[in-house]
Amino acid sequence: MGWTSKTSSKNCSPAPPSASWHRMEKTPRFDSRNALSWVRSERSTPATLRRLRLDLLTVRGWCTLGAGALLMFFAYLFGRHELMALGISLIVLAAVSWGLALGLRGRTRIQRQVLSTVPSVGEVCRVRLSCAESATIQERLPESFGPGPKFEAPGGLDYELVFGTRGIHQLGPAQQIVSDSLGLIQGMVNTGETMDVPVRSELIDLHRFASLGEQMLTGDARHSLSTTADYYDVAIRDYQQGDSIRQVHWKASARQGKLMVRQENHVATAQALLILDTAFDHWCHSGVDLRLSIPAGAKEDLPSSRRFETALSLASSIGLCYASSGYQLSVRDLSGAPLISEHPQATSDVAAQSNFESFHAATAVLALSTGGTEMAASEIFGDGLHKELLGYRDEPVIMILGELTMIQARWLATLARTVRHAEIFILVAHPERYSDVHQELAGTGWKIHLIPATMGAEQMWGGA
């Protein structure tokens, strides 16, 4: 299922049959995580010239302008009209070539199409770039990818991207290489428009790790079902001693010639609650945390840290495990505010997958919160979340936290009387400093994980 740039609806005409489609033996792949795959070349052109687009002038173009200005100066000194005309002609020639090159900006019709579904971090995203006019086109990729692919139009090419961070990444505008027959102009001008590509958080296959994939979805936590029916499955069976007379299905009994009763089977969706700590101070509070900037398209970048990105990847991976097992996932922050728009009216399988997809899609733009709700120093959850936990006594609850003090751990341990099945992941810079916290929570019967901040999600379960 592919999707196309909104800005290229007028440019969707297919390339003519005679156009060459640039298909290489191996589709070029650009991986933003591999910083050694390309070398950044510093531009020697002054920034002022680039801003005015005077960098399009070649050495010959600058010499032509200089010669024209010099001839005009000599014409002024010696009063020679023919020198003045020649000088003006050289300047006009260079200026016209420069103006025609700038006039090509946005004129070339470019079509850009993402052939893959909405990608996640680490997944291969296939993109198609095409142009129906004669031109030399080079794609512009986000800076972390390096120089983009180049092709001769009419035609196009396919290329692959592997994103190293989540967010809204921008592709384009593409650049057209322009030149003139006199050699006065040589450079690239923007053509076409940008395209936003949302990239979701990374997914790790936790099913292959026994420490998480099996323990969470088996045993006591797996059997628990919501007490609210999604629907009732009605069936007809033979009458048995003890059945109420009100359950007799008289029409079916008349057809079968014996007493038949109506049986209503309660069909419910398994519920699970995922609590994700999104407080900025809990993830970016020490010098150990590697700060990151998450692209947000045309908006300002979102602040984050490597530790929070690991936590978000873990949350998405756990959510996928539960959704695949039929759990309808609710996602809350520490205040109890929902991080996704839920679909309580949907039936079980649809609701489970829909809620996870909503959460995973939201991770592309999920930002850390800088202002939290007012709560006591000993409490880590807001009143709204505290009340909601009352409805998850026999349901699995997963907590992913970035900071937990000893006094908060004692308060959290008191919830063991309310929540029976909980699994807590605490991602901290120095796990050895949290031995008391771990010991306090270990007495609850919950599963407690202290995870070092330097460990990625893949490494986290690699040794399980």
Gap between the Cα atoms of 10 and 100, Å rounded: 24
Cα angle for residues 14, 15, 20 (degrees, 5° grid): 145
The pair of structure tokens assigned to 72 is 């005009």
Gap between the Cα atoms of 262 and 273, Å rounded: 35
Q: Which residue has the tokens 């396919």?
A: 158
Residues written for the chain: 464
Enumerate long-range contacts of 54-60, CB under 8 Å, 24 or more apart.
54/98, 55/187, 56/98, 56/101, 56/102, 56/178, 56/185, 56/186, 56/187, 56/189, 57/94, 57/98, 57/184, 57/185, 58/183, 58/184, 58/185, 58/186, 60/182, 60/183, 60/184
> What are the chain's domains?
1-198 (no CATH), 206-223+269-462 (3.40.50.410), 231-267 (no CATH)
- For 438, phi then psi, to 5°, come to -60, -40
b/e string for 129-144 if b means 16 or more Cβ within 10 A? bbbbeebebbbbbbeb
Q: Which residue has the tokens 């740039």?
A: 5
Please report which helix (H) or strand (E) contains residue 308, including its range: helix 306-324
In tens, the pLDDT along 406-461 reads: 999 999 999 998 898 999 999 988 888 899 999 999 999 999 999 887 665 555 54
Tally the C-alpha atoms within 13 A of residue 115's C-alpha that lie toward its C-beta: 11
In tens, the pLDDT along 202-228 reads: 998 775 443 433 444 433 333 344 444
- For 451, phi then psi, to 5°, come to -115, 130
Gap between the Cα atoms of 228 and 417, Å rounded: 22
Please state the separation of Cα 295 from the chain's center in Å. 9
Please report which helix (H) or strand (E) contains residue 276, including its range: strand 270-276
The pair of structure tokens assigned to 208 is 């292959």
Amino acid at 187: G
Helix, coil or strand: residue 150:
strand
Gap between the Cα atoms of 114 and 139, Å rounded: 14
Give me the helix-helix angle, 306-324 and 348-362, nearest 10°: 170
Digit-by-digit pLDDT tens for the chain (464 residues) are 444 433 343 333 444 444 455 555 688 999 988 866 555 555 567 778 778 888 888 999 999 999 999 999 999 998 889 999 999 999 999 999 988 888 766 678 889 999 988 899 999 999 999 998 888 899 999 988 988 999 998 999 999 999 999 999 999 899 888 888 889 998 888 888 899 999 999 998 775 443 433 444 433 333 344 444 455 556 788 888 888 888 888 888 888 888 888 887 655 667 889 999 999 989 987 677 888 999 999 999 999 999 999 999 999 999 988 888 888 889 999 999 998 766 554 445 666 788 889 999 999 999 998 865 556 667 889 888 988 998 898 889 999 999 899 999 999 999 998 898 999 999 988 888 899 999 999 999 999 999 887 665 555 544 43
Give me the helix-helix angle, 406-413 and 435-442, nearest 10°: 10
Tally the C-alpha atoms within 13 A of residue 284's C-alpha that lie toward its C-beta: 17
